[in-house]
Chains A and B, each alone.
Chain A
Amino acid sequence: MNHNQPVYTDNDPQEELVTLNLGPTHPATHGVFQNVIQLDGERIVSGVSTIGYIHRAFEKIAEHRPFYQITPLTDRLNYCSSPINNMGWHMTVEKLLNIQLPKRVDYLRVIIMELARISDHIICNTIIAQDTGATTTFLYLFQFREHIYEIYEEVCGARLTTNIGRIGGFERDFNEIAFAKINKFLKEFPVALREFESLLNRNRIFIDRTAGVARVSAETALDYSWSGPLLRATGVDYDVRVSDPYSSYQDFDFEVPVGTSGDIYDRYLVRNEEMWQSVRIIEQAMEKLKHEPPHIFHADVPEFYLPAKEEVYNNMEALIYHFKIVMGEIDAPKAEVYHSVEGGNGELGFYLINDGGRTPYRLHFRRPSFINYQMFAPMSKGMLLSDAIINMSSMNIIAGELDA
């Protein structure tokens, strides 16, 4: 049965449209989005999205903060995978300053970024399941997000808004507990993920609710500048990690999963497969770390890398560098740079213009959620209301990233 065809024709005498205001605090929308939709029975005739309900003026703040103080802002963009944002920002600055990182730092970053990707995809996929009526998976897989947070805690002390790393590397080396926790995660998570898949992948209810719903062709997706798992579900193998490798991703052997029809089921499968690939990448990174010289966790760039606190208190030079860095007096070239990383939702870009002042002259974030979300209202036309809700959760729109 093709249930995406409208039941009524335009000249149906029974036609009577209902206007429904979904949001901005509707429980089904998982965030602060407002959609005013016209309904013909259960079917959506048209919709208008309103966003900006948590607009926090990131770009304006960034013009008033030195580089290091922008890292906490990036945390709050996509707060489901904040380490990717942090490191994306640090890499942008490193590109500006032409800093080369030791391989070990790159691999440590890859581990953290892939863990962040897993935690992001856990949220999205369990929420899809939750919205189709399966609460179990949510309670089950969220446990592993806690394990990922524990690893972050070992590395940087924070759980969600991590503010992880420095320009040039990490603030401290990973300790034994962190490595032990990563190893434990690598052992336990695949078991749980396999179970998660066996609960949903061939689940009749789940497939009925998701397969064939909200199909998007590759042309449409490119036309709307989609990126990330949403674009890959339509069959375009665009992944910044492969097309424009950063942080030594070229050293790793992994695959970019693609879908065929771009429907919700494909997006779910793509995200699941990406979690498997992330596990693979972390395993390889742990193996590669063994062949790198130990205890190197930052590049040797004292003029840009914030020194450790005990150094600052006991060492004259470190104190001077600390002062200069914190006050934003570092010598950065007057240039503009665009750097992008593969965030949880797609291409997360940083467009930085530096004029040699204390703060960036302009910093623009290319936010995948913002650009992906604009298609929601047009693509909802003709969809059932309940399908539109799952469609929204499968797009994994993060309000902080949407509104900036």
Chain B
Amino acid sequence: MSDINIVDAPPGIEGSGFFATSFDKVIGLARSHSLWPLPFATSCCGIEFMATMGSHYDLGRFGSERLSFSPRQADVLMVMGTIAKKMGPVLKQVYLQMAEPRWVMAVGACASSGGIFDTYSVLQGIDEIIPVDVYVPGCPPRPEAILDGFTKIQELVRNESGRRRHSPEYKELLASYGIL
């Protein structure tokens, strides 16, 4: 008996020889367990991310073994560490290069709010330039916290409607960041 667990099937109608459910649920389920993160690690939180990827915590258990360093193939942008104003345009460029659907996770105090660096050179939270889905507090957050944030992203992905990215609200959100 293997101890590998398989996710439960989404709710649907089951009968002899068939199983019917909606596309949204199946795609959400599949996506949520094969997210490719793009680690945008700049400072201390990046080191904790290395620990998260290491053998002790192992982000690979959540279907994210494969880091996508190319933004074109990435699903989740994990911003870890201080983003200085000099770095801001680079971060936005990376976000723009990602294909929809894309999610963003702000890991740590600096990425979420600027943290202890309330200075002339630091961006006070990445949500000034790109929309963020999940914030992970901590300076730096423990690997467990990063994993928790990641499961929150998975939850969002699982429950996201297939039409969300075409909705006027979403377009409005992007427009408020100057992204068309």
Interface set of A (CB-CB < 8 Å, partner B): 24-25, 27, 31-32, 52-57, 60-61, 72-73, 75-76, 79-80, 123, 138-140, 142-143, 145-146, 149, 159-161, 399-400, 403
Contact = CB atoms under 8 A, between A and B. Distances in A.
B43 A79 contact: yes
A141 to B, nearest CB: 10
A55 B122 CA distance: 7
B90 A60 contact: no
A128 B120 CA distance: 35
Interface of B: 40, 42-44, 46-48, 50-51, 54-56, 67, 69, 81-84, 86-87, 90, 94, 116-117, 119-122, 139-140, 142
A161 B40 contact: no
Given A24-B90, A76-B44, A79-B43, A56 B139 contact: no
A140 B54 CA distance: 9
Contacts of A146: 51, 54, 56
Contacts of A160: 44, 47-48, 140
A53 B84 contact: yes
Contacts of A159: 48, 142
A365 to B, nearest CB: 15
Contact of B42 (A57, A80, A145, A399): A399
The dominant DSSP class at the B interface is loop
Contacts of A61: 116-117, 119
Given A24-B90, A53-B42, A139 B54 contact: yes
A57 B43 contact: no
Contacts of A403: 84
A173 B9 CA distance: 53
B117 A56 contact: yes
Given A143-B56, A403-B84, 10 more contacts: A25-B94, A31-B46, A52-B84, A52-B86, A56-B82, A56-B117, A57-B120, A145-B54, A146-B56, A160-B44
A116 B68 CA distance: 31
A57 B119 contact: yes
B139 A54 contact: no
Nearest to B119: A57
B90 A142 contact: no
A39 B116 CA distance: 40
30 contacts: A24-B87, A24-B90, A27-B69, A31-B42, A32-B42, A32-B87, A53-B42, A53-B86, A54-B43, A54-B84, A55-B86, A56-B84, A56-B119, A57-B121, A72-B116, A79-B43, A79-B44, A80-B47, A138-B54, A139-B55, A140-B55, A142-B51, A142-B54, A145-B54, A146-B51, A149-B51, A159-B48, A161-B44, A161-B139, A400-B44
